[in-house]
Structure 1
Amino acid sequence: MKGKFSVLSLALALGLAACNNGGSDSKTTSTDPHEGHDHSAQTAASTPHTQTPPPAQPEEQDPAASIPDFKFYKVKSGFGFEKSDIPSSKNTVFILFDPSCGHCQQETQALAKNYEKIKDVNLLYISMNDPGLMVNFLPSFGKELDGKSNVEVLYDRDQEFIRKFHIPKMFPANYVYGADGNLKTYWVGEKNIDDILKAFVQ
């Protein structure tokens, strides 16, 4: 991972900006580190010419091209869940989410209402949040998904997702891998449910 940020600081930063209510995806989100800051009070005198530039922000990386090895933990049982536990011969979708994120809740509600269309897709919800906050996510926002054999809610205890898969700019972040384990598509933030369903099953 490039840049001087630790995994923990990235996790904290991601948590603070977890749910962007602007409704745009990462391709349209500003990457200007000064956006929202007022620098009008600075004068030439307060900014000497010898000032060193701020440290470079980490560059956005492409997601993992194929599903990497990982170990997450099932929220309900605490048992480990690894790459070898993913049922084969079907698409697998990783959804990185925050239980308190409104867009994550809305997407899950929409997916639950369309469960019959995605019943042949592995749906893996991943979060670095406290499992105590995650355990009621599906019962509250996706009752039709709760308890289904193709749906798991997984705790990323060691922040493996942002180390091995991708560091998204906002939640929810969706990553669709084919039956061969290779990345087919991904997006972050809001997306029309019809487009989501199409991406999940293609």
Structure 2
Amino acid sequence: MGYSRNVFYSKLFIMKKYFKITFLILFLGLFAFMSYEIISKINHKKAIDENIKTIPEFQYLKLDGSVFSNKSLKQDTATIFLYFNSECEHCQAEAQMVSENREKFKPFQLVFISFETLYKIKNFAIQYKLIGYGNIHFLCDSKVTFATTFDVKSVPSLVLYDKNDHLIEKIKGQIKAEVLLRKFRITN
């Protein structure tokens, strides 16, 4: 009896040792994987931040189906990119705010961008009476690249650039006209 008990405890000791070693290897592997993922995300974020310091290259469709790109923007004019969805209540309120303050936004180019169909985007522009102004553009992001290119995660989002195409700020959510205009006065 004593011999089999010793064998049992000896095997139990060896099993505990293997379990500890296996657990340690799994923990270190998980730690290394998580560290790699975090470092990769930080490096990716830095690359995106570097890419959007100035207006990056882009190409989207205008309401008439023609192409609008970063080269289509007016030089020496501040730009406000407004990422929206026509069914989003906050986006609707933001479009209403722009419509009510069109005169205040005349010195800026406003670029509304959505991944929805041209039909929905056009109806949205008509609904808020924002069609026919030389400084207001509505674009279709049919390849859904705006969010990753400009590092925005939700709608509405605004990306503000000064007249030299340098990033001022990214804004998540709805904003009042006075606050938005103040951000440009502070940088000039």
Give TM-score, length-normalised by structure 1: 0.66
Unaligned runs of 5+ residues in structure 1 are 1-48
Query: Are 1:73 and 2:61 an aligned pair?
Result: yes
Give the corresponding residue for 2:166. Answer: 182
Moved over 6 A (4+): 49-55
Contact 1:93–1:200 at 8 Å: present in 2 too?
no
Contact 1:131–1:155 at 8 Å: present in 2 too?
yes
User: 1:177–1:120: structure 2 CA closer, same or farther, 3 Å change rule?
Assistant: same
Query: Are 1:156 and 2:141 an aligned pair?
Result: yes
Query: Are 1:102 and 2:86 an aligned pair?
Result: no
Q: Which has the larger radius of gyration?
A: 2
Give the corresponding residue for 1:113. Answer: 100
Distance 2:174 2:109 in 1: 20
Contact 1:118–1:200 at 8 Å: present in 2 too?
no
Contact 1:91–1:121 at 8 Å: present in 2 too?
yes
Paired AA for residue 146 in structure 2: F
Paired AA for residue 178 in structure 2: D
Distance 2:176 2:111 in 1: 19
CA-based RMSD: 2.4
Distance 2:103 2:65 in 1: 28
% identical equivalent positions:
26
Query: Are 1:146 and 2:131 an aligned pair?
Result: yes
Q: How does 1:1-202 map to 2 (within 5 A)?
A: 61=45, 63=49, 64-75=52-63, 77-140=64-127, 142-143=128-129, 145-166=130-151, 168-200=152-184, 202=188
Distance 2:86 2:183 in 1: 23
Distance 2:86 2:69 in 1: 22
Unaligned runs of 5+ residues in structure 2 are 1-22
Distance 1:200 1:116 in 2: 15
SS in 2 for 1:176: strand
Give TM-score, length-normalised by structure 2: 0.70
Contact 2:79–2:108 at 8 Å: present in 1 too?
yes
